[in-house]
Chains A and B, each alone.
Chain A
Amino acid sequence: MWETIRITLQLAAVTTIILLVLGTPLAWWLARSSAWWKEAVAALVALPLVLPPTVLGFYLLIAMSPSSPLGQLAISLTGQSLPFTFAGLVIGSVFYSLPFVVQPIRNAFEAIGERPLEVAATLRASPWKRFFTIALPLARPGFLTGAVLGFAHTVGEFGVVLMIGGNIPGETKVLSIAIYDHVEALEYDQAHLISAGMLVFAFLVILAMMVLEKKLRRGPAHGGRS
């Protein structure tokens, strides 16, 4: 079981990091662009919210198959095809959890408004400096929410994993699938154990996020409240 927990946490951590790196510029663009097709992109990003995970998993499986361009690229790079590997799971999870990370960050960027960035521009700050010294710090609560939701949502992933990850112990077997297996095998004790563990985990995560967010909103990092 520890192996399964390790894989679950590793998958969630890697996915969250990738999503923060990719999701930040995407969220920035969605928050700031005035392109007319922006909302179409936003809808694509939000799609996993409403799409049955098995549908997403099915298309990802097709896209990763050895005969597809993506599959061939993976084979030529790693000598291995993507489905039923950890890397394949990560790709699936990135799509699956994308809206949970991008949406809070986009909202946080939008909440900053134009003014602080304009002020910074009149103080000789280049676009990069404006982004790193104004936008990022002011959007901190959004990053926190995005990271926590992305992580927790990936931990609870089931349908996509089942479609593209299979159920290989030590490779692609994650907790939610383990629960399913235990129930199928009528091992209710184990199923109870894992389920209760995940329940407590989910509660603690949300609680910690709320407390931290409240703290963050209260002022600057070097919180000199005199």
Chain B
Amino acid sequence: MNFLSAKLKGRLQDFTLDAAFEIPASGITALFGPSGCGKTTILRCLAGLERLDGYVRLKDDVWQDQGYFRPPHKRAIGYVFQEASLFPHMTVKQNLSYGMANPDKVHLHETADLLGVRELLDRIPDRLSGGERQRVAIGRALLSKPDILLMDEPLSALDRAAKTAIIPYLERLHAGLSIPVLYVSHDHSEVERLADHMLVMDKGRVISNGPLDEMLTDCSLPLASSREATSILEAEITGFDDKNVISLLTVKGATLQVPGALGPVNSRCRLRIAASDVSLASTHPSQTTILNVLPARILAVHDLGNAQFNILCALGDEDGGRILARISRLSLARFGFETGQDIFVQIKGVSMV
């Protein structure tokens, strides 16, 4: 039972939630959807700050079930709110240690180092920047030794610069953290960078739930139809061409060539390919400047209704990495692509996330 599972149903003010889901109790799960779709409500219900009918279970620990409701302070959660909400009458250090069962200086300092707030310990929250405050809030939640970390759009109150500065800390957490994280966001790029798993919500319901790469390329979901539709591929750096300064990145079903030294050989990274940067060819084009022309198979053809189509392809054969291509109705008519067909994808732009 290595899952967080919940079923929540009910009304809060003028809002109705009816959601049931089960997500892995490891890695980062993005809770994604337009604002007002109930993401925050789900988080609050999981934390016990709000009560709706249903159940909440983390692994084999029951937090809520029929007639049973564990109050928030007895749930092993860490909650990071949209605004840092530090206690204004306490120093950073007092804020950090507030939720610690036994004050452990070493652990506190480790966490402060990890989040880059060691120098701020004696300050009061009033004197911190927005990014610093949010880092302290994350540290404070972590130091209470939670079994799950709930983050409610922790970056949305920050300006772009502060956001860019804080994301590396979150990535470091991602690598070092053994507990699951449920991360509410409506920012596409944040999700692409951080999440492993994704829960897609709309109007108080969970409309889909699965691994990130599948969710991003699932043509039945709003993500794949949006203008910023992308595919995410997990890659391993398998070689480096010194002379031409080209890195070789192996993904499922193909090897990509990407300009630049992207990292040490054998390290892993995550690649992002915009659907609009992918074009298709029915035969191998011989005259092209595009580096990555790869054999692939069409898994689905999806009409977006605005004279555009999404073509979902798998690199190599069906089991390969999934790539989404955005093409016009005219091109589709001209080439007559259909499901199951073997074609070539031409990838114009690849970036690391």
Q: Which residues of A contact B (CB under 8 A)?
A: 115-116, 118-127, 130, 133-134, 137-138, 219-226
Contact = CB atoms under 8 A, between A and B. Distances in A.
B89 A221 contact: yes
A122 B89 contact: no
A122 B141 contact: yes
Given A122-B72, A122-B77, A123-B98, A222 B141 contact: no
Interface in B114-160: 122-124, 126-127, 140-141, 144
9 contacts: A118-B79, A119-B79, A120-B98, A121-B73, A122-B47, A122-B49, A122-B99, A123-B73, A124-B101
Interface in B73-105: 73-74, 77-79, 81, 83, 85, 87-91, 98-99, 101
Contact of A226 (B72, B73, B127): B127
Given A116-B87, A220-B89, A122 B122 contact: no
Given A122-B49, A123-B99, A124-B99, A220 B73 contact: no
Nearest to A130: B73
A156 B89 CA distance: 35
7 closest pairs, A vs B, by CB? A123-B99, A122-B79, A121-B72, A220-B89, A137-B89, A121-B73, A119-B85
A125 B73 contact: yes
Contact of B144 (A123, A219, A226): A123
Contacts of B122: 224, 226
A111 to B, nearest CB: 12
Contacts of A118: 49, 72, 79, 81
Given A116-B87, A122-B47, A220-B91, 6 more contacts: A121-B48, A122-B144, A123-B144, A125-B98, A130-B73, A138-B89
Contacts of A222: 91
Contacts of B144: 122-124
A130 B101 CA distance: 15
Interface residues of B, number: 29
Contacts of B91: 220, 222, 224
A213 B127 CA distance: 20
Contacts of A121: 48-49, 71-73
A174 B37 CA distance: 64
Nearest to A223: B124
A220 B90 contact: yes
A127 B71 CA distance: 10
B127 A115 contact: no
Interface of B: 47-49, 71-74, 77-79, 81, 83, 85, 87-91, 98-99, 101, 122-124, 126-127, 140-141, 144
B13 to A, nearest CB: 13
A226 B127 CA distance: 8
Given A120-B98, A122-B79, A123-B144, A134 B71 contact: no
A120 B49 CA distance: 11
Interface centre among B74, B101, B124, B144 (most CB of A within 10 A): B124
A226 B93 CA distance: 14
Contacts of A120: 73, 87, 98
A138 B88 contact: yes
B71 A219 contact: no
Given A121-B71, A138-B89, A220-B88, A226 B47 contact: no
A123 B89 contact: no
B246 to A, nearest CB: 48
Given A119-B81, A120-B98, A122-B47, A134 B87 contact: yes
B283 to A, nearest CB: 59
B83 to A, nearest CB: 8
Contact of B81 (A115, A127, A130, A134): A115
Given A121-B49, A121-B71, A225 B88 contact: no
A120 to B, nearest CB: 7
Nearest to B145: A124
Contacts of A226: 122-123, 127
A115 B90 CA distance: 15
B124 A219 contact: yes
Contacts of B77: 122
B73 A116 contact: no
A134 B95 CA distance: 11
B140 A123 contact: yes
A123 B72 CA distance: 9
Contacts of A220: 88-91, 124
A122 B89 CA distance: 18
